[in-house]
Amino acid sequence: MLAALIFIGGSAFVCIKAAVVTAEPGVVSGIRLWVAALLLCVYAYATGRPLPGLFQEKDGKPQLDGRWRFMLAGGLIGYTIPFTLFPLAQQTVDSMLAGIYMAFMPLLTIIMAYFFARESLTFTKITGFCLGTVGVIFLIGPAALQGIGSSDVTAQIWLIIANICYAIYAVMMRWAPEMPARSFAAGTLLSSAVFATPLILLSGQDWTVTTPLSWLAMVYLGIMPSGIAAIVIINLIRKNGAGFMAMANYVTPVVAIIMGMLIYAEPLKPTFLIGLAAILAGLAISRSKHLFGPGMGLQKLIRPRK
């Protein structure tokens, strides 16, 4: 399952690249989310995990169910926004670069968890985040200082914002109320699809998709990286824990690089390698509890916020 998750995650970026050839970024996001939402809703109901009611009675008045508040917020922040920003960015940047940026998300989550989830910052976590930040600087490149308004730099800023959204979503889920995971995933993706639809309509994007390849890519994105991947993640966490599932973050960027080179003949720049190495090293260090050995007094450098 871990190997499948890595392949599915790495393949998402080349499929987005194929989809945006003739489809607007918002259209890619909307179709992808609706396909995933319908798939997960069918899966949830077929396995006896229906969605909760939208409203519940409180003091004799109907109020929005607290579980739906998290699913609505999670759908917007964890899916609608990043799923729109990635196709927007990949109109001008390589799929391999988009994949590399995904490795920065766990490091951003560490910082978010300190501010919003009351988790401590250890020396290894801070070191890992600093290394990852250096990696992102190498990815953007020194030319960013001179051409900050260029399309390439702007696209990379979209990628960073998308990863910030993923990190916020990961922290939010630690406060989510108890409910069946399949129902939660289905409700979250359904919320994201609902949010994406008016955004596309109001933006006035052209819904015309002229090539079968773009349609095939969007359907694949909905079924595999969005729908099936959510189911695989749930099963992986239940069987082996979140730590085991997080190993996918180490390998997914490598798969994205290989697919970008094989399918689109994208050039592998030296700065990409340096940036990827720094981010993965930072991710490895941040997950190491004994980097400096016991007794060094560094494992609780910054205690959780009250």
The reply to whether 294 falls in a domain is no
The reply to whether 303 falls in a domain is no
Return the pLDDT at 140.
67
CA dihedral 162, 163, 164, 170 (to 10 degrees): 120
The reply to whether 107 falls in a domain is yes
CA 107, CA 166: separation in Å to the nearest integer? Answer: 11
Which residues lie closer than 8 Å to 156 by C-beta, 6 or more apart? 89, 93, 97, 101, 139, 140, 144
Report the 10 Å Cβ neighbour count for 109. Answer: 24
Where does the chain show beta strands of DSSP type E? 55-58, 61-64
**156, containing H or E segment:** helix 151-172
Return the pLDDT at 177.
83
The reply to whether 298 falls in a domain is no
Return the pLDDT at 230.
84
Check whether 159 has a pLDDT greater than 60. yes
Between 72 and 151, the more confident residue is 72
Check whether 298 has a pLDDT greater than 50. no
- 128-145, pLDDT tens digit by residue? 888 888 887 777 665 544
- State the average pLDDT over residues 258-265: 88
The reply to whether 176 falls in a domain is yes
- 60-117, pLDDT tens digit by residue? 788 888 889 989 999 999 999 999 999 999 988 888 888 888 877 877 888 888 877 7
The reply to whether 300 falls in a domain is no
CA 280, CA 297: separation in Å to the nearest integer? Answer: 25
Between 227 and 137, the more confident residue is 227
Which residues lie closer than 8 Å to 279 by C-beta, 6 or more apart? 100, 103, 104, 107, 131, 132, 135, 136, 253
Mean pLDDT taken over the chain: 82
Reference 141, options 295, 273, 288; nearest CA is 273
pTM: 0.81
pLDDT band at 210 (very low <50, low <70, confident <90, very high): confident
What is the sign of the dihedral through the CA atoms of 138, 139, 141 and 145? negative
- State the average pLDDT over residues 169-180: 81
- 16-38, pLDDT tens digit by residue? 999 998 888 889 999 999 999 99
Q: What is the DSSP code (8-state) at residue 295?
A: T
- 38-65, pLDDT tens digit by residue? 999 999 999 999 998 888 777 778 888 8
Q: Which amino acid is at 199?
A: L
The reply to whether 198 falls in a domain is yes
Q: Which domain holds residue 224?
A: 2-53+63-286
Overall number of domains in the chain: 1
Percent of the chain with pLDDT over 90: 27
pLDDT band at 15 (very low <50, low <70, confident <90, very high): very high
Is residue 109 within 8 A of residue 285, CB to CB? The reply is no
**158, containing H or E segment:** helix 151-172
Q: Which amino acid is at 13?
A: F
- Annotate 77-112 with DSSP letters as a single string: IIIIHHHHHHHHHTTTS-HHHHHHHHTTHHHHHHHH
CA 168, CA 221: separation in Å to the nearest integer? Answer: 22
Return the pLDDT at 256.
86
The reply to whether 292 falls in a domain is no
